[in-house]
Amino acid sequence: MAKTSPKTPAKTAKPAAAKVAGTSIEQATEEALSKLKSLGLDPQLQADIEWCLGSYKADSNPAGLYEMTKKAIAVFEAEKEKKTKGVTAKLITDMQKALATSA
């Protein structure tokens, strides 16, 4: 009898995951929260963002994320005027792009 090797199924290439241009509103809001925490800014806004992120994960309604990200941008712009270390123009523009592309 001739030896036959078991046939293995041909590997199919998986399509690459589509990369989202820019940042999603969820990512922008999470970044805002982490930056607010690291700089110790606006504890009430931090609590509101945490609540909105939890709500978003439960119901996938991003309305609160848009509102909180807008508020965070206002806080960051004020801090940037004060030249607070850690608040960069790139941080603000990334959040603004997330608002613009998702809205």
Q: How far is CA 99 from the centre of its chain?
A: 11
Position with higher pLDDT, 23 vs 58: 58
The upper half-sphere exposure of residue 49, i.e. CA atoms within 13 Å in the direction of its Cβ, equals: 26
How do the residues of the chain divide into helix, strand and coil, expressed in percent and rounded to 5?
65, 0, 35
Q: Is 10 a residue whose pLDDT tops 90?
A: no
Task: Convert the pLDDT of each residue in 37-89 to its tens digit.
Answer: 999 999 999 999 999 999 999 999 999 999 999 999 999 999 999 998 999 99
Q: Which residue has the higher pLDDT, 99 or 102?
A: 99
The residue among 82, 69, 2 whose CA lies nearest residue 36 is 69
| Distances, alpha carbon 56 to alpha carbons 26, 49, 103, in Å | 8, 10, 15
Provide the pLDDT for residue 16: 37
Query: Quick one: pLDDT at residue 11?
Result: 52
Residues 6 or more apart from 53 whose CB is under 8 A from it?
Answer: 26, 29, 30, 33, 65
Q: What is the pLDDT of residue 65?
A: 96
The confidence score (pLDDT) of residue 102 equals: 63
Q: Give pTM, 2 decimals.
A: 0.75
